[in-house]
Amino acid sequence: MGLFRKSKAPADAASVTSKASKTTNNTAQSPPPPNKAMNGHSTFPALSTANIALPPPPDPAQDPAAYLRSIHAVRERSCIVHEKAKCNNLTHFDVDPTKFGETAAYIVSIIKRDFAPNYQAIPPHGRWQHFDVGGRQRIDQLLMSWPSKIDAQERARRLLDLFLVSVLLDAGAGTQWSYKSKESGKTYRRSEGLAVASLEMFKAGYFSGDPTEPYQVNAAGLNRLSVNQLAIGLQVSEANPLAGMEGRADLLANLGEALRNTEYFGSTSRPGNMLDYLLSHPSTQASSVPIIMIPTLWNVLVDSLASIWPASRTQVNGISLGDAWPCSSMPSAPRAQPWENIVPFHKLTQWLCYSLMAPMTRLLNVQFVGVELLTGLPEYRNGGLLIDTGLVTLKPADAKRGLDAYRNNATVKGQPCMEVVPLFSTDDDVVVEWRALTIGFLDDLHVEVNRLLHLEGPDKLSLAQMLEAGSWKGGRELAEVSRPNTKQPPIMILSDGTVF
C-alpha cells in the first residue's frame, strides 16, 4: 500500500508534519456541498470558502502548553508514533502491514452494507445519531414539542445545552450498565443508553436551576445536582453499576462552576450561550450564512472547559493539559525538550466539536471551515478495530502484564470476570501508544476507504463520515462477535469516566 517502510530508524520529530497542514497550508478546504453538510440533508447554498485562512497553531518553542492544547498538536504529535508504527518500531505493539488492506476492506463492507449506493446520506460522527437509537427521531420529536414562539437560535442553544452535558457523560459505560427508557420501556446500553438517559433527564429538568424552564442546562442546575441524584437519573445501583460514576459527577459539578464565565456562557450561565459568542466572534464571517472557524470553536471549548478536567492530569509550566499523556515512543530528554514526550488527544473535546456542529448547522445553516483539522477519535472502538483485524498486536510481555491485571481486577466485586482481555489504566504507556497509532491509521484508512469505494472529489467521504459508518461501528461489531458475552474491546481500560 506504500504506507509501510522496513527501516526501523526512529522518526525525527522535526521532520513529521501534520497531514492537515501538508494539504491545507493553514487554508481551509472547501466545505462539502449542500447534500454533504453536517446532517446530510442541508439545503443552504454552497459557499466558496477556499480562501479563508485559518490561524496558525501556537509556537511550541514560545508556549508549549498552548501548543499541546491546540487541535493542530493532536495529529502532529500522534504522527510521530504513527511513523514508528509504519516501521514496526513501536514499544508495545507489533504491526502487520499485510492486514491493512483487510482492515480497509472490512470498513468498506460495513459502509456498503448500510449505505450503498447513497454514501452522501452518511451523517458525520456525532452525538445526534446516538439519540436516535432504534430508529426513533428523538431530537426531531423534541424540537417539534416546543412551541413555535421558540426561535431557531434558542432552539439551537437548548440543543447545545443538551449535547454538551450528554457528551461529558459519554465516557465508557462498562459492560454491566443499562438504561430502561421511561418513555418507551426499551433498554439501551453503552453510548446510546447514556444518550437516551441524558435526554430524558434533560426533559425532566435535572440540569436546570429553574423549575419553570426544564429544557436548559445552567450553572445553578448543575451545582445542585448531587451524585445521588445523578445516579437516580442514570438508574445506577449496585446491581446496575456504571463505570466511572464519580468521575462523571465531578465533571458536571466542575462544569457548573465553569459556566459562570460570562464571556462564553453569558449572564444565564448556559452552555448554549456559546452560540452567541461564536456568532459575534471577529473570526466569524457573515455571508448568506455564518461561517465559523474550527479553531475558534476549539478554543472556546478548550479555554472555557479547562477547569473541569482532573487537576492531576499532565501539566506543562503549571498548566494542566487535560487529555494529554507522556509516551515512551515520543522524543525524550536530554535530546528533546521536556514537553516533547507528550501526546495530546483531547478526545472528549473533539467529540464535543463533532457533536456541537450538528445543531448549529441543522438549525441555523452555520458552516464550519477547518473541519479537516479534527482527527479520528482515539478511543477503544476505533483502536479495537485495529487489534481485532490483526493490523496491530500487543507484544507478549505487555499482554501478560495486562492479563495479570485483568485477573487481579476480576477479584473486585462487580468487575467483569469472563472473556479475559489485557487490562490497563488510562495513563498506562500501552494505552497512550495505542491511542496515538489509532489516529494515524485512521487517516490512512480514510484515504484507502475512499479509494476502494471509488469516491473522488466532492463525493469523497469525510473522515467524520468514515468514523460514523465504518470504523467506529465496525470496531463495535467486531467486539460483539469476538467477545459476545461482554462485547468489550480487545483491551480493557480502567476508566475514571473523564476520558473514554
Name the β-bridge partners of 342.
326
Highest mean predicted confidence (pLDDT) among 348-362, 403-417, 482-496: 348-362
Residue length of the chain: 500
Cβ–Cβ under 8 Å, residues 222 and 207: yes
Beta-strand (E) ranges in 56-158? Answer: 93-95
247-256, 343-352, 406-415: segment of lowest average pLDDT: 406-415
**Lookup: cell for 377:** 477519535
- Is 6 exposed, middle or buried (CB count within 10 Å of its CB: 0-12, 13-18, 19+)? exposed
Q: Is residue 89 predicted with pLDDT exceeding 50?
A: yes
Query: How would residue 107 be classed by pLDDT, with cut points 50, 70 and 90?
Result: very high
Above pLDDT 90, what percent of the chain? 78
**Lookup: cell for 356:** 456541537
Mean of pLDDT values over 43-48: 41
Amino acid at 213: E
Q: Rounded to whole angstroms, how far apart are CA atoms 50 and 238?
A: 54
Q: Give residue 449's pLDDT.
A: 98
> Number of C-alpha atoms within 13 angstroms, CB side, residue 411?
4
Q: Give residue 495's pLDDT.
A: 76
357-394: pLDDT as tens digits: 999 999 999 999 999 999 999 999 999 999 999 999 99
Mean of pLDDT values over 336-356: 95
| Dihedral sign (CA 247, 248, 251, 252) | negative
Beta-strand (E) ranges in 36-117? Answer: 93-95
160-201: pLDDT as tens digits: 999 999 999 987 777 889 999 999 999 999 999 999 999 999
- Is 109 exposed, middle or buried (CB count within 10 Å of its CB: 0-12, 13-18, 19+)? middle
Cβ–Cβ under 8 Å, residues 309 and 498: yes
Beta-strand (E) ranges in 69-125? Answer: 93-95
Specify the pTM. Answer: 0.88
Q: Is residue 29 predicted with pLDDT exceeding 50?
A: no
Cβ–Cβ under 8 Å, residues 446 and 467: no
| Dihedral sign (CA 357, 187, 107, 431) | positive
Cβ–Cβ under 8 Å, residues 211 and 159: no
283-308: pLDDT as tens digits: 999 878 899 999 999 999 999 999 99
Q: Is residue 212 predicted with pLDDT exceeding 90?
A: yes
CA distances, 1 to each of 4, 97, 441 (Å): 7, 9, 13
| DSSP type of residue 432 | H
**Lookup: cell for 432:** 497512550
Cell 418513555 -> residue: 183
Cell 454514501 -> residue: 119
Q: Give residue 396's pLDDT.
A: 98
Beta-carbon contacts of 183 under 8 Å, excluding residues fewer than 6 positions away, are: 200
Q: Is residue 397 predicted with pLDDT exceeding 60?
A: yes
Cβ–Cβ under 8 Å, residues 153 and 193: no
- Is 212 exposed, middle or buried (CB count within 10 Å of its CB: 0-12, 13-18, 19+)? exposed
Mean of pLDDT values over 327-350: 92
Q: Give residue 172's pLDDT.
A: 72
Amino acid at 166: S
